[in-house]
Structure 1
């Protein structure tokens, strides 16, 4: 029945203050903790679960470094195991792995030892694959809270691949128990009684601290065996063998919470532009910069690659990527994303240059031919659409397109305009040339892990005019006929299967009286859909397309008492585009608009024509089944609870019977139990408060009541998804991977010959999650993933050397090499050292 008291702080790097304001206070806290440890007022202190707290403090107080190291070496200060406390659901699995790898490197640089505990209690729910990630770093425990099943104070948590950890469900915020010495004994007794109601046997964990609070020492007289200073590792050692055999929880932790234990599902869609930027930057680093750096053998680029990841990781904390901080924080987030992308694009350019593909357009603009290269980031053949800008000399235009064998290739001119072209580099004098930029699109099929070349013929003449289309509402391509409806949704008829799916992409706008944490429809809500104003049809050998112009007339905001949508209306012009590319069994749906309204949510609905009770979605490395639900669960009647919002995190794929929706960068999806069943993808949520105390869907505040006008997202909104009439696991997950990282095309430097097709890494039967430089500089690491429920055997080719299996921390699991055929169980991942 002993209470293990763990002195700690939970340090949000940025939240209701910007980062530098918080960091100044963090340095003060670290200095105070060192003084308390020196004086014996504290025995031990947990400096949150992230190494960036120590890094941030010591950057501005380097004089504290020796004291921090000494206390850490003596076991009095614990940090980690993470570099930052990320929102584990809104970042990729590779992001989580880089997070833990970075923590190891930073801890070593600072002379600190990482706490051997999977510490993440304040994340807004926990993904199904987290036990797998933790076990890959030798961590067999997890401290969780939000989203954990309230019935279990501790349990065995199991990932879809079978990985397990011992999980403890415990709130991290208990500073008031020991805050005042005079009342500490009574408050401790109350705490023990509350814990005994959850767990009759004990021992109990008291996390003595909270958000941004300096520690208070254990009052004299309490350390009598009933309470003692401890560490998380000691507590887990005491309870590790006391988990009931039947207390096993599978999959993600998004259970309805107990009192004040909010999952805060609205953070999945708050400031969606941040989620889109994060997904794009993760893809740039994971699918492009890392594999190309390995392919080019650019070992000297590892420092820049780590820097790009560090910038990206600093946007991963739950108050950053979730969009639930003050506006200043998220302006800085956007700058960090931009900086990470700048570094990533430089890495891509330099790797391509070393591989003989010079994408720097220096010299005289072309007058006869432009060499183009299309690069495939996937370890499998991939056919798909690409767009590329072809810059010609003035008075010239693109007259044709041929492949490497000289065969004509259909293409579509999308736009053309005069464009000054500037180029400069270490070996290129700065120069600006007048050019005509011609944006063209075509369907390419470069080989696995490699590239192929095409040649755009250039001829004299005035700029060609893009096809303006013709008025119309229906296009047919192959077996598919697509028609736009009066509400700007689409009906798809598939002649091969006889299926008709109306209402695809139906936009529904509702009010939102909530805050950055929680969607809250006003009492008197009003649902609005667009009205079609104009539609034009574009038909070419490359694509069939309908461009619909529509108007969405919505309330300007809320009434003064926030109980209804306002009588004042604003009209938002929309452009909704539906494209079917040649030989591609996929509908490309896209919406663009400038948001000029406040306090509303816009979702795109995609119904199926089959009965369903569940929907499937991809998480980090696995597919998960989730039940279809009403759009919103029952409203709580007691204070301190929240309603089931119905939404769930999706990496890039949501599936109903006969229908797959591919939505990278749009992580909030609802599987709605209706007639017919449908998937609702959130494309905008606009709110104006960090937290409010007057919600119906969450009956208590979740943070400071501060205005966040920029969370109204009055900006350009662009959202796109892919739609497939296919629910096969293997083909749907492969299509989602292609959607996350589409083919890319570049014009090569004038005078460069068109490159021949070149193959790289090829993996058949599985997906590649990572192909990256090894952390220790010895070769590379290849990670294979089977996200499906069926065992597969992957075949690997095109790697420089043998495969030696390793864990996620990149430690070899044996000395023997693995052959080219790699078995992967259901939902399995396997990692390998290559060429080291």
Structure 2
């Protein structure tokens, strides 16, 4: 074996689709780059290849403007001179859901495959702001055994300057990266960033200086003689004279073999030389062994409204629309794969790290709002059409012989559950063809509503609350005629729906004349509400004193608000030195009972608070002078402004949680607002919902950590437990939290953050990131025994994200029973993830993941005959058969395993 060094120069560009300029500015530059690339490939046969940044959307964006270039583009992809895939976009891994990360992989593979060439089998994460711990397992399921990443293991500071004196998790730029389940990939760190081979000089004098610096820098971290030089950077134009530059390098450094390489060639050679003593890094890569100043974690709270819209969109797609469309497919309705691809792609166009992270200029994020709405509206149409297909198939003849108005409650959350339901029942409908709308409304409004009750299909009466809903306008959109507007007489019902099966539905009916039993109020004191599980007192300062009846434990001072200054930027939070956060702990609040029934109690709290108007004038000076945020001396302004917070605490009948809705009228700049939940538990670690896992993280950061703040990412929840008791805070789109080092292990959840600049490599003002005006937040407080996993409280937190859907129907026969689960499953410490139809096979595929670090059993059963079950993967391919016994199967899941089941019907 030769000891000669090989310099692998891989041409690429890292394409932030939108960032410090609006999308179309970047788009125009992309067209120019791609034109130049194709011209270079035409002209220079020695220009061997180009890595297209691991994301197929670049092809889509280019061909949108240059469709005539598709044939040439396809030619070079098939000749393996342009390398594409495996992703659709380069996402932020922690701010997008587990299933969104999977759809990204699926769409990227499908789109790359359409060009007929090889798909790049490299887990490419060049600039992700931290890496998800289950990535090795996910990649392995897509036949990818190597990942390349730029962050998460060793420190990369301002302007991507590498720290020289840090303790690294790995001594090499190559390592083994292992998921919690044991899956491993080779990890390649861009130790000198992904631009260490850019702009290679042709001039000999410049080339000597260039390579005399670049080669030792690469050798310093490389574990083999194969040195990686990434020939590009952010929006880097094509180096059209690279072939000449390589020839110059060969002449000047004959002891080094310079190769215009690609990742496939580089990895093949690398594998042959890797030493046996590579370090193994485990799970999440979040730069925890650094000083903590440049982890970019606070992008989790930049422009919170974007995260909330994203969470709503993802939930509707993966937890509502996909399962409903799969259900409807079982009764003959075609599964709308094409509509799902459009909805997912539109949503994923908001998932690149500089987009969903909220760390771009204002124009970028305005366009994102429109994309969110487009994706959501398409998803809502899929939901509507799916329910339209299901309703006629549901048999409601159990209500024959009664003056009944049936309605079906759909539960797509993946877990059996009870819950508060509101439904508007049409008692009568009259179309505009009958009379003028005003006359219809007037005549119908005076029609009386007869008393009645809600009944289930077995004839049991379910107590409810009902009110006259007046007259409402609506319209039908028939498939064979013009729209049909109407007026309807409305009855509004509120009830506690019980035992709604996971991945199924339950049909109830309003029955006129039935007796509705009386039910007691939940209000047991002026501002105390109580159900069978919880006693909740709203204190004078607006915080909660909560008693968990199952354990007898009392939590005090929950949901105090904290406001602190922020002299950081969209990437990172920085509290001004020498300042102390303000809190509402000593602020009296106005308390009002706004709703009191047997089914739901709501107490509203209003804080009329006063906080600093902004940072002081020094902050703007420091921004203009590009002073790094850790070194800023700005303080908070002495000018105070009103800050009104309206909180609604909701306790539903038999609920195990308190739901919280917060509305903030923000007129202040440069600050952060958090809700505080002191747990009082003695614990060194906590659990947070992450990508296909419940991650265990340390409460106290590593010794290298210098940042006073230790903020971290979450998906659906964060939880602290001492092993006997636990407190979990679930959320909707609130992606940032901290477990404070205050001897109380207080959970602090960020509700909003205001910042006036992008940050990073220059000064880019972002006034809209101050989030002036109305800001809202939704979360839930869940006390429990044990921890969030062993208690099963994670199911409650996951279900909190997913709405019930209710649709009125009529009395008719159908092929489906009145109450039904399309798929039944059980598994202790197993979490549901998705149910959909596979695009290529049109088989149903369902996915779960084991949240325990020990093996668990998943049991699955379908109500009707199936051809068979099989193991699938994240690409939804057909694998080995799973034993089928009476339409059911028992599958042993490994620790932390992500498992996809294929079902042939």
Question: TM-score scaled to structure 1, two decimals?
Answer: 0.90
**C-alpha distance in structure 1 between counterparts of 2:154 and 2:567, whole Å:** 28
Q: How do 1:438-587 residues align onto structure 2 when only pairs under 5 Å count?
A: 438=492, 440=494, 442-456=496-510, 472-478=526-532, 480-530=534-584, 531-537=587-593, 538-562=595-619, 563-587=634-658
1:729 aligns with 2:733: no
Q: 1:606 aligns with which of 677, 685, 688?
A: 677
- Post-superposition Cα deviations, 1:294-321, rounded to whole Å, max 9, x if no partner, equal 2211335111111111111111110111
Question: Which blocks of at least 5 consecutive residues in structure 2 are unaligned?
Answer: 156-167, 395-401, 428-443, 514-520, 620-633
Query: After the TM superposition, which of the residue ranges 518-527 and 76-85 deviates more from structure 2?
Result: 518-527
Which residue of 424, 432, 452 maps to 2:477? Answer: 424
Q: Structure 2 CA distance, aligned partners of 1:747 and 1:632?
A: 59
**Which residue is equivalent to 1:222?**
249
Is the partner of 2:144 in helix, strand or coil?
Answer: coil
- Contact 2:403–2:512 at 8 Å: present in 1 too? yes
Correspondence for 1:646: 710
Distance 2:451 2:704 in 1: 58
CA-based RMSD of the aligned residues comes to 3.0
CA–CA distance in 1 between the matches of 2:793 and 2:468? 32
Structure 1 residues 89 and 811: alpha-carbon distance in aligned structure 2, compared to 1, 3 A threshold? same
Compared CA separation, residues 708 and 385, structure 1 to 2 (3 A)? same
Which residue of 2 is the match for residue 293 of structure 1?
325
**Which of the numbers 713, 720, 737 marks the counterpart of 1:669?**
737
User: What SS is found at the alignment partner of 1:211?
Assistant: coil
Choose from 705, 714, 720 the match for 2:778. Answer: 720
Alignment of 1:293-332 (within 5 A): 293-297=325-329, 298-332=333-367
Residues 424 and 490, structure 2, Cα contact 8 Å, conserved in 1: no
- Provide closer, same or farther for how the CA distance between residues 592 and 418 of structure 1 changes in structure 2, counting only shifts above 3 A: farther
What is the alpha-carbon distance in structure 1 between the residues aligned to residue 207 and residue 508 of structure 2? 75
Q: In the TM superposition, what is the alpha-carbon distance from 1:593 to its structure 2 partner?
A: 2.4
Deviation (angstroms), 1:388: 3.0
Name which of 773, 795, 800 aligns with 2:859: 795
> Which piece of structure 1 moves more, 825-834 or 264-273?
825-834
Contact 2:522 2:597 in 1 (8 A): no
Query: Cα 1:165–1:122, aligned 2, differ >3 Å: closer, same or farther?
Result: same
**Partner residue, 1:591:** 662
Match of 1:184 among 182, 207, 213: 207
Matched with 1:124 is 129
Q: Measured at CA, do residues 399 and 143 of structure 1 come closer, stay the same or move farther in structure 2, by a change above 3 Å?
A: farther
Matched, 1:831 2:891: no
Contact 1:470 1:536 in 2 (8 A): no
Q: Cα distance, 1:386 vs. partner?
A: 2.5
Aligned-residue offset at 1:36: 1.4
Is this contact kept in 2: 1:379–1:762, CA < 8 A? no
Cα offset, 1:208, TM superposition:
0.9
2:455 equivalent to 1:387: no
Q: Which moved more, 1:115-124 or 1:57-66?
A: 57-66
Matched, 1:68 2:128: no
Change in 2 beyond 3 A, CA 1:230/1:14: same
Of the structure 1 ranges 426-435 and 738-747, higher mean CA displacement relative to structure 2 is found in 426-435
Change (3 A) 1:68 1:790: same
Distance of aligned partners of 1:473 and 1:47 in 2 relative to their CA distance in 1, 3 Å threshold: same
The DSSP-based 3-state class of the residue aligned with 2:672 is strand
Q: Does 1:771 align with 2:793?
A: no
Partner Cα separation in structure 1 for residue 561 and residue 292 of structure 2? 33
CA distance in structure 2 between the aligned counterparts of 1:398 and 1:180, rounded to whole angstroms: 89
TM-score, scaled to structure 2: 0.83
Q: C-alpha displacement at 1:260, in angstroms?
A: 12
CA contact (8 A) 1:804 1:814 kept: yes
Provide closer, same or farther for how the CA distance between residues 558 and 260 of structure 1 changes in structure 2, counting only shifts above 3 A. closer
Structure 2 counterpart SS, 1:503: strand
Partner of 1:265: 297
Instruction: Provide the rounded CA distance (Å) in 1 between the counterparts of 2:811 and 2:664.
Output: 37
1:24-59 deviations in whole A, cap 9, x for unaligned?
Answer: 211111110111122226221111111111121122
Partner of 2:624: none
The alpha carbon displacement at 1:269 in A equals: 1.0
* Cα distance in 2, alignment partners of residues 497 and 625 from structure 1: 24
- 1:639 counterpart residue number: none
Please give the secondary structure, in 1, of the residue aligned with 2:41: helix
Q: Distance in 1 between matches of 2:860 and 2:654?
A: 27
Q: Deviations over 1:720-775 (max 9, x none)?
A: 22222222415122222211223222344799999822222111113332211112
Counterpart position of 1:350: 385
- The answer for the alignment partner of 2:287 in structure 1 is 255
Whole-Å separation in 2 of the counterparts to 1:414 and 1:259: 59
Distance in 2 between residues matched to 1:689 and 1:175, nearest whole Å: 30
Asked if 2 retains the 8 angstrom alpha-carbon contact of 1:420 and 1:435, the reply is no
- SS of the residue corresponding to residue 311 of structure 1 reads helix
C-alpha deviation, 1:138, in angstroms: 0.2
Paired residues for 1:59-98 under 5 Å: 59-98=64-103
SS of equivalent to 1:736: helix
For the residues of structure 2 that align with 1:536 and 1:400, how far apart are their CA atoms? 31
Contact 2:346 2:371 in 1 (8 A): yes
Cα deviation, residue 424, structure 1 = 3.4
Question: What CA deviation, in whole Å up to 9, does each residue of 1:616-644 have, x standing for no partner?
Answer: 11212111111113899965xxxxxxx37
Q: For 1:821, what is the secondary structure of its paired residue?
A: strand
- Return the offset for 1:193: 1.6
- Quickly say closer, same or farther: Cα 1:525–1:756, change in 2 above 3 A: same
- Deviation at residue 20 of structure 1 after TM alignment: 2.2
Gaps of 5+ in 1: 360-366, 460-466, 636-642, 692-701
Closer/same/farther in 2, CA of residues 52 and 661 from structure 1, 3 Å limit: same
Matched, 1:163 2:168: no
* Alpha-carbon separation, structure 2, partners of 1:817 and 1:261: 52
Whether contact under 8 Å (1:256, 1:644) holds in the other structure is no
Name the CA shift for 1:573/1:401 in 2 (closer, same or farther; >3 Å). Answer: farther
Task: Report whether the alignment pairs 1:210 with 2:233.
Answer: yes
**Residue aligned with 1:100, SS:** helix
Is 2:80–2:117's contact at 8 Å kept on the other side of the alignment? no
In structure 2, the partner of 1:402 is 454
Instruction: Report the CA distance between 1:435 and its aligned residue.
Output: 5.3
Q: Cα 1:630–1:416, aligned 2, differ >3 Å: closer, same or farther?
A: farther
Q: Does the Cα contact within 8 Å between 1:477 and 1:544 map onto a contact in 2?
A: no
SS in 2 for 1:198: coil
The answer on 1:746 being equivalent to 2:746 is no
Q: CA deviation at 1:261?
A: 9.7
Q: Look up the SS of the partner of 1:287 in the other structure.
A: helix
Q: Distance in 1 between matches of 2:129 and 2:422?
A: 38
Task: Work out which of the residue numbers 37, 42, 47 in structure 1 matches 2:41.
Answer: 37
Change (3 A) 1:429 1:312: same
- Select the residue among 803, 806, 819 that pairs with 2:872: 806
Q: 1:488 to 1:752 in 2, by over 3 A?
A: farther
Shift of 1:518: 0.9
Which of structures 1 and 2 has the bigger CA Rg? 2
Match of 2:629 in 1: none
Conserved 8 A contact 2:291-2:705: no
Task: Using the TM superposition, give the Cα deviation of residue 425 of structure 1 relative to its aligned residue in structure 2, in angstroms.
Answer: 4.1
Distance 1:548 1:70, change over 3 A: same
Match of 2:195 in 1: 173
What number of residue pairs does the alignment pair up? 805
Task: Tell me whether 1:6 sits opposite 2:6 in the alignment.
Answer: no
